[in-house]
Amino acid sequence: MDAFAKAFIELFNGSWLQGLFGIPDIPATDDAAAVTGAIFKAIFAIILVVVIMVCCLYTVLLERKTAAWAQGRVGPCRTTMPIIAAIPVVGRVLTYCGFIQPLADGGKLFLREEPVPEHVNKFYYCLAPCFALAPAIITLVMMPFSSYIDPETGKETALMLCNMNPGFVFVFAVSSLGVYGTVFGGWASNSKYPFLGSIRSGAQLISYELSMVLSVLPVVLLTSSNPDANPLSLLSIVQEQSGMWNVIFAPLSAILFFVTLMAEMSRQPFDMPESETDTVGGFHTEYGTFKFGLFYTGEYLHMILGSTMFSLLFLGGWHALPFMPTLGLTGVAAAILGIICLIIKILIVLFIIIWIRWTVPRFRFDQVMRVGWQLLLPFALANFVAYVIGIGIYDALLK
């Protein structure tokens, strides 16, 4: 029986929702578990996509508020709705904090007229925004968000859609396909500056991808010290951090991964694909309305997924504190606490990424290449070799 389905059946039987609608108990048979598990995973996938898209909208608000804080401004504080404004106190707070602004921006962006320029390659021009967004959504299936530990049996079930063995390898492989959206968009625009932006994007991805993988390999080595763990699974990597987090064991790896992550997301100071001072806006210069919105959403979705990966690999994932992963809670309460802790860590990483954008000036393209090849790659390689030697000596002499 599928563990995910079995855990859901055990939670559902006897729940308040079952009593409210008078639904009979679901038999814990293999057939029932298979059907129930498939239905629940489909519902979970739809909810996950909707939630992550809403999070993208409000990540834009977080960026605008952080930029306003860094520059001594207020940020969005006026946009509201009549129904919201009529609520005493709450309406004013939501308006001043800008919570209605993302809805107004999204509606304005997606409801405008959408012309297609005559000089573009129409097929790839329309395909590029899909390539920018789809890989980020696909990687959601491999992300564990929390786990449920049965208080009676102690069996742990991860809150994730698919627990593939080479989990983080799949995430890196699929997420790197997002560069095709940038390349297609710049090339299909048949314009000089978008094409320059797309070429920069491809060169930057190649320059920093190797350093990113090398920075994660020490985490794989630390996880492989447990013979029962799968070192390539994101679930196993988080489970091995129930004691001390990897950011303590591998601080240089965490720094290298964070820097390469910003370069992979093309965030300032590494935003070469859309450097306004050099390429007038970069690969999406010829895009507007809905298609530009897809590019924009893909950028912030990659930010959220990158922050999630950093939290899972180095910050203990959904574990609350080192050596106190659930703060003594069990069952559903521990699972909910895990989701809350992971969200807090993601928000902290997002804030740091946005803070750096509005603090550090943009690099030149030659500086970006020099940092990738002459600085990060040697440090990542030396760091990996050091962990190979150190863990080898530990296994040979001290174990």
pLDDT in tens, 223-248: 888 777 788 888 888 888 888 899 99
**Can you tell me which residue has the tokens 């004013």?**
92
317-346 average pLDDT score? 86
Quote the distance between the C-alpha of residue 362 and its chain's center.
23
Listed residue (277, 139, 137, 251) closest to 197, CA to CA: 277
Bond from prior residue into 227 cis (ω within 30 degrees of 0): no
Long-range contacts (CB closer than 8 Å, 24 or more residues apart) made by 298-301: 298/129, 298/132, 298/133, 298/136, 298/178, 298/181, 299/132, 299/265, 299/266, 300/56, 300/59, 300/60, 300/63, 301/52, 301/53, 301/56, 301/133, 301/136, 301/137
Q: What pLDDT is attached to residue 35? A: 65
- Six-digit token string for 34: 């298979």
Q: What is the pTM of this model?
A: 0.86
Sign of CA dihedral 250, 252, 258, 261: negative
- Rounded Cα distance, 195 and 191, in Å: 6
284-304 average pLDDT score? 84
Average pLDDT, the chain: 82
| Higher pLDDT pick, 345 / 75 | 345
90-97 average pLDDT score? 86
Pair 165, 235: CB distance under 8 Å = no
Is the pLDDT at 20 greater than 60? The verdict is no
Share of the chain above pLDDT 70, in %: 88
- Six-digit token string for 180: 């095709």
Q: What pLDDT is attached to residue 345? A: 93
| Higher pLDDT pick, 148 / 26 | 148
Query: What does the chain come to in residues?
Result: 399
SS3 149: strand
SS3 153: coil
Q: Confidence band (pLDDT; 50, 70, 90) for 17? A: low
CA 248, 250, 254, 257: dihedral to nearest 10 degrees?
-160
- What is the DSSP code (8-state) at residue 321? B
Q: What pLDDT is attached to residue 1? A: 46
SS3 54: helix
The mean-pLDDT minimum among 10-24, 299-313, 327-341, 377-391 falls in 10-24
168 backbone dihedrals φ, ψ, rounded to 5° = -75, -25
- Six-digit token string for 32: 């029932």
348-372 average pLDDT score? 89
How far CA 375 is from CA of 247, 370, 381, in Å, comes to: 21, 7, 10
Listed residue (249, 257, 254, 255) closest to 390, CA to CA: 249
Q: Confidence band (pLDDT; 50, 70, 90) for 16? A: very low
Q: Confidence band (pLDDT; 50, 70, 90) for 6? A: low
Pair 39, 330: CB distance under 8 Å = no
- Six-digit token string for 367: 């500086």
How far CA 324 is from CA of 286, 314, 337, 347, in Å, comes to: 51, 16, 12, 21
Pair 170, 82: CB distance under 8 Å = no
Is the pLDDT at 147 greater than 90? The verdict is no
| Nearby residues of 140 by Cβ (< 8 Å), 6 or more positions away | 45, 48, 49, 52, 161, 305
Q: What residues does 156 pair with on adjacent strands?
A: 149
- Six-digit token string for 130: 């899909």
Q: What pLDDT is attached to residue 55? A: 87
- 168-217 confidence digits (pLDDT tens): 788 888 888 888 888 888 888 888 888 888 888 888 888 888 899 899 99
